[in-house]
Structure 1
């Protein structure tokens, strides 16, 4: 910001120096004639994540297939996306991959490896690791499955799995419902999403299992919203190893 002013001052000093040498002290002339150097806030190199370049781990019994995109019926401005189909003992999942993400299935690489077209594009670099993480979660889901354990902490707090509900309607045939008793005067009934199984090993424990991690954790979040953990008595619904720091009671 001060560089133009310095150049103008130095230029005027240089023009008038032939007529007078007593305008400024001599120790100020080098500072005014020197161009302003750009400063950086840090000297450390940025640490780039290596998740996107890591090969996918595909266990035995799981098939990983990439379907080429189809341009039929698409506009010229729409980039077609390829589809990845993953089949395993617990089910089948599919996912669309952005057009700038390439999947190399060379056996010498140790597993399917993802690359991007432009390594300088911020969006492509961000989606590189995200796409790889989603694919690895799908592989783990169809082979071992994902789970979430909900703990009900509070007097009378408990959950049960019912075959029918009175307050909500079923969305698909054979749907089961989770019945929550968490301090409300009315029953709280939630339909279990398709592909997710729920069980209650204890009245205060609810186990959710399913091949798709996003669906399992989203359903767990929907259950938690009915009684979020509060910091004074420590009551509420906790997901997995979640804890809360207790506060002192307010004294008036």
Structure 2
């Protein structure tokens, strides 16, 4: 059995977990997340801990138990603490501005780029060159951050563009005559 799948998921105070036949619902202070349960695994709520077990002894069920346990742990963490991604803008005149559920970017194009945020995702700009994306669903936060970065990924010669806060961009040497 998967090592990750064997570990129980602790349910913190203020988080409600409902396990149905084919879905799991996690409700907390930051929202509610619902995910379908793979038929190869079973989830049981026992004394404030969630246990994920494979239904049979196949390799696919064993692998899916670890995957499901990680997804459920991310759901519990998301509704209690939340997830965030930080992006930095590098370049002369590159600016970002959060306006409600929209992110306005001036990133060197002839027009501003506007990105609408889905429900459950908040965006904030502490400075004009920093973007902070927050939400309860880890997958959605990461996807939105990747979509924003894709507007102007860092280029390899000067490093200009949108990058993650912890990203290291390797700068290439320019061509010599």
Q: With structure 2 as the length reference, what TM-score do the two structures score?
A: 0.93
Question: Going by fraction, where is strand more abundant, 1 or 2?
Answer: 2
Could you list the per-position Cα deviations for residues 153-173 of structure 1 after superposition, in whole angstroms to 9, with x for gaps in the alignment? 11111100125xxxxxxxxxx
Q: Which whole-Å CA distance do the structure 2 matches of 1:159 and 1:100 have between them?
A: 45
> Could you tell me which residue of structure 1 aligns to residue 158 of structure 2?
233
> Could you tell me which residue of structure 2 aligns to residue 153 of structure 1?
90
Matching residue within 44, 50, 59 for 1:122 = 59
SS of the equivalent of 1:198 reads strand
> Could you tell me which residue of structure 2 aligns to residue 88 of structure 1?
28
1:56 deviates by 0.5
> Could you tell me which residue of structure 1 aligns to residue 45 of structure 2?
105
1:105 deviates by 2.2
Q: Which whole-Å CA distance do the structure 2 matches of 1:231 and 1:126 have between them?
A: 38
Q: Which whole-Å CA distance do the structure 1 matches of 2:175 and 2:68 have between them?
A: 47
SS of the equivalent of 1:85 reads strand
Residue ranges of structure 1 left out of the alignment (5+ in a row):
1-47, 69-81, 164-175
SS of the equivalent of 2:77 reads helix
Q: Which whole-Å CA distance do the structure 2 matches of 1:242 and 1:137 have between them?
A: 23
Could you list the per-position Cα deviations for residues 27-58 of structure 1 after superposition, in whole angstroms to 9, with x for gaps in the alignment? xxxxxxxxxxxxxxxxxxxxx85111110121
Q: Which has the larger radius of gyration?
A: 1
Q: Which whole-Å CA distance do the structure 1 matches of 2:2 and 2:127 have between them?
A: 41
Q: Which whole-Å CA distance do the structure 2 matches of 1:227 and 1:114 have between them?
A: 41
Q: What's the Cα RMSD here?
A: 1.5
Q: With structure 1 as the length reference, what TM-score do the two structures score?
A: 0.67
Q: Which whole-Å CA distance do the structure 1 matches of 2:46 and 2:144 have between them?
A: 37
Q: In the alignment, is residue 63 of structure 1 matched against residue 16 of structure 2?
A: yes
Q: 1:52 to 1:240 in 2, by over 3 A?
A: farther
Q: Which whole-Å CA distance do the structure 1 matches of 2:81 and 2:165 have between them?
A: 18
1:204 deviates by 0.2
Q: In the alignment, is residue 245 of structure 1 matched against residue 175 of structure 2?
A: no
Q: Which whole-Å CA distance do the structure 1 matches of 2:24 and 2:139 have between them?
A: 17
